[in-house]
Structure 1
Amino acid sequence: MSIATGLINVTVATLWTDAQSPRLIDEESVRNPVQIEAWLERLSPEERKALLDEKRIQSQILYGEIVYILEETGDWAHVVIPNQFSKKNKLGYPGWVPLVHITKIERDDEEEFTDHQIVIVTDKITTLYGENKTGIIPLSYNTVLPLLSEQEDLLEVHTPHGNAFIQKEAATAFDSVDEIPKKNGEGIINEASRFQGLLYLWGGMSAYGYDCSGFSYNIFKASGYLIPRDAKEQAEKGFRVEKEEVLPGDLLFFSYEEGKGALHHVGIYYGDGQMIHSPTPGEKIVIQTIEGTFYEKEWCETRRYWNE
Structure 2
Amino acid sequence: MELTRKTIAVTVATLWTSPEKARSIDKNALTNPVRLIDWLEPLTYTERLELCDQNHVQSQVLYGEEVILLDQRGNWSYVLVPSQPSSKDERGYPGWIPTVQLSSRLPDNHSLFVSTNKHGAKLHDVTENRGMLLSYQTILPVIDERKLDYVVWTPHGEGRLDKDDVTLCRKNEQVGTGDELVHEAEKFIGLLYLWGGMSSYGYDCSGFSYNMARSIGCTIPRDAHDQMKGGEAVEEGEWKKGDLLFFAYEQGKGSVHHVGIYYGDGKMIHSPSTGRFIEVTPLKGTIYEEELCGVVRYWGKN
Cα distance per residue 1:89-145 (max 9 Å; x no partner): 11100000000000014xxx55x1x53311111122211111689933111110011
Cα distance per residue 1:12-36 (max 9 Å; x no partner): 0000000111101000000111001
Instruction: Specify the code of the residue in structure 2 equivalent to 1:264.
Output: H
Partner of 1:193: 186
2:156 is equivalent to residue 161 of structure 1 = yes
Aligned ranges 1:278-293 → 2 under 5 Å: 278-293=271-286
**Matching residue within 157, 161, 172 for 1:178:** 172
The two structures have a TM-score, normalised by structure 1, of: 0.94
**Matching residue within 192, 204, 216 for 1:211:** 204
Structure 2: how far apart are the matches of 1:86 and 1:249?
Answer: 21
2:101 is equivalent to residue 101 of structure 1 = yes
**Matching residue within 252, 263, 271 for 1:259:** 252
Instruction: Specify the code of the residue in structure 1 equivalent to 2:161.
Output: I
> 8 Å contact 2:127–2:157 — kept in the other structure?
no
Higher mean displacement: 215-224 or 239-248: 239-248
CA spacing shift, 1:142–1:42, aligned 2, 3 Å: same
Instruction: Specify the code of the residue in structure 2 equivalent to 1:234.
Output: Q
> 8 Å contact 2:207–2:222 — kept in the other structure?
yes
Aligned ranges 1:60-75 → 2 under 5 Å: 60-75=60-75
Structure 1: how far apart are the matches of 2:111 and 2:97?
Answer: 26
Cα distance per residue 1:73-102 (max 9 Å; x no partner): 110000000010001111100000000000
Q: Equivalent pairs: percent with the same residue?
A: 46
> 8 Å contact 2:267–2:282 — kept in the other structure?
yes
Match of 1:135, SS state, is: coil
Structure 2: how far apart are the matches of 1:184 and 1:165?
Answer: 29
Quote how far apart the aligned CAs of 1:3 are. 2.8
Aligned ranges 1:75-94 → 2 under 5 Å: 75-94=75-94
> 8 Å contact 2:75–2:98 — kept in the other structure?
yes
Instruction: Specify the code of the residue in structure 2 equivalent to 1:57.
Output: V
> 8 Å contact 1:4–1:104 — kept in the other structure?
no
Structure 2: how far apart are the matches of 1:213 and 1:104?
Answer: 29
Aligned ranges 1:1-308 → 2 under 5 Å: 3-105=3-105, 109=106, 112=108, 114-130=109-125, 135-174=130-169, 176-179=170-173, 181-307=174-300
> 8 Å contact 1:147–1:156 — kept in the other structure?
yes
Structure 1: how far apart are the matches of 2:69 and 2:11?
Answer: 19
Higher mean displacement: 24-33 or 238-247: 238-247
Query: What is the total number of aligned residue pairs between the two structures?
Result: 301
CA spacing shift, 1:203–1:133, aligned 2, 3 Å: closer
Cα distance per residue 1:59-82 (max 9 Å; x no partner): 000000000000111100000000
Q: RMSD between aligned alpha carbons?
A: 1.6
Quote how far apart the aligned CAs of 1:38 are. 1.3
Match of 1:186, SS state, is: helix
CA spacing shift, 1:239–1:39, aligned 2, 3 Å: same
Instruction: Specify the code of the residue in structure 2 equivalent to 1:71.
Output: D
CA spacing shift, 1:127–1:133, aligned 2, 3 Å: farther
Match of 2:19, SS state, is: coil
Structure 2: how far apart are the matches of 1:120 and 1:11?
Answer: 14
> 8 Å contact 1:10–1:101 — kept in the other structure?
yes
Quote how far apart the aligned CAs of 1:267 are. 0.2
Moved over 6 A (4+): none
Structure 2: how far apart are the matches of 1:240 and 1:104?
Answer: 41
Match of 2:20, SS state, is: coil
Structure 2: how far apart are the matches of 1:93 and 1:253?
Answer: 21
Structure 2: how far apart are the matches of 1:70 and 1:94?
Answer: 10
Match of 2:133, SS state, is: strand
Instruction: Specify the code of the residue in structure 2 equivalent to 1:154.
Output: D
